[in-house]
Amino acid sequence: MLDQRSKFLRRLVLEMVEVGGRGHIGSAMSLIEILRVLYDSFLHYRSEQPDWSNRDRFILSKGHGCLALYSILADKGFIERSELRRFCLPNSILGGHPERDKVPGVEASTGALGHGLPIGVGMALSAKIRKQIHRIVVVTGDGEINEGSVWEAAMSAAKHRLNNLSVFVDYNKLQSYGPVKEVLELEPLVDKWRCFGFEVQEVDGHDIQALKNMIVKLPFKSDRPSAVICHTIKGKGFPFAENNPKWHHKSGLVEADLQALYDCLEY
């Protein structure tokens, strides 16, 4: 069951979808609890000073899940909530993928998949060289890690023993047009990350307390980067959208669709 805060954040997503008429709804819904716990209980930041030098860096590598990120940024005061009501309009800062230097709190422009972890590795290595203590967190999609650039970056992170880097894999097991196991099987996923030099743990990506209990252990080892495999449900919170590839990205939403979505989030 989703608690009231998780439902509230999903309602913020629906406000954007209602205005924009489209969005990666399924992709965002598997992310919300992960981002919620990171921003509530782990990341150091100042929403009134997004470029604060000692902030932790967060990169949403699966940029198409930006609806979830925008809802958190509005909730935390990086952007005005009213901005959500302009999602994807010509004069809005909020597009279908997050853009650095346009959206306060966005560290990297992502959407071309496979770029977030390489950027995060660069940030983590830079912090080590400069003896800075901030942390870098990257959230990837499971379909996204079909990209070879992810594994090249993972090898580099292990080589440089980047214990200031944590990778969260949104493992909802469903990519844009079908199940991950049919498109390109990832298993044994935990063993893959371990073989690439990461210390790995698994967690229910929608269990708030389990996520909180896990993140306090980061880094899992003092001499290597960390990976968290988050088992999630695409479209979580909307039964008709859960595990349904048709909701990976949804456009042409009509009033009945929106009402059905809102009905699932009644308080």
Q: Which of 56, 34, 52, 105 minimizes the C-alpha distance to 76?
A: 105
> Per residue in 54-90, pLDDT tens?
999 999 999 999 999 999 999 999 999 999 999 999 9
Report phi then psi at 23, rounded to 5: 155, 160
Average pLDDT on 169-188 reads: 95
> Per residue in 8-50, pLDDT tens?
999 999 999 999 999 999 999 999 999 999 999 999 999 999 9
Give the integer Cα–Cα distance in Å for 184 and 147: 11
Give the integer Cα–Cα distance in Å for 227 and 176: 23
> Per residue in 174-183, pLDDT tens?
998 899 999 9
State the pLDDT confidence band at 1, using cuts at 50, 70 and 90: confident
Rounding to the nearest 10 degrees, give the CA dihedral for residues 144, 7, 43, 102.
Answer: 70
In the chain the first and final C-alpha atoms are separated, in Å, by 12
Helix (H) or strand (E) holding 215: helix 208-215
Give the integer Cα–Cα distance in Å for 14 and 71: 10
Give me the number of domains the chain comprises: 1
pTM: 0.97
Average pLDDT on 210-223 reads: 98
Give the residue numbers spanning the domain of 196: 4-263
Position 108, amino acid: A
Average pLDDT on 222-229 reads: 98
Three-state DSSP class for 60? strand
Give the integer Cα–Cα distance in Å for 161 and 155: 10
Domain containing residue 207: CATH number: 3.40.50.970
Average pLDDT on 154-165 reads: 98
Q: Which of 218, 212, 52, 236 minimizes the C-alpha distance to 138?
A: 218
Please say whether the beta carbons of 267 and 38 come within 8 A: no
Position 139, amino acid: V
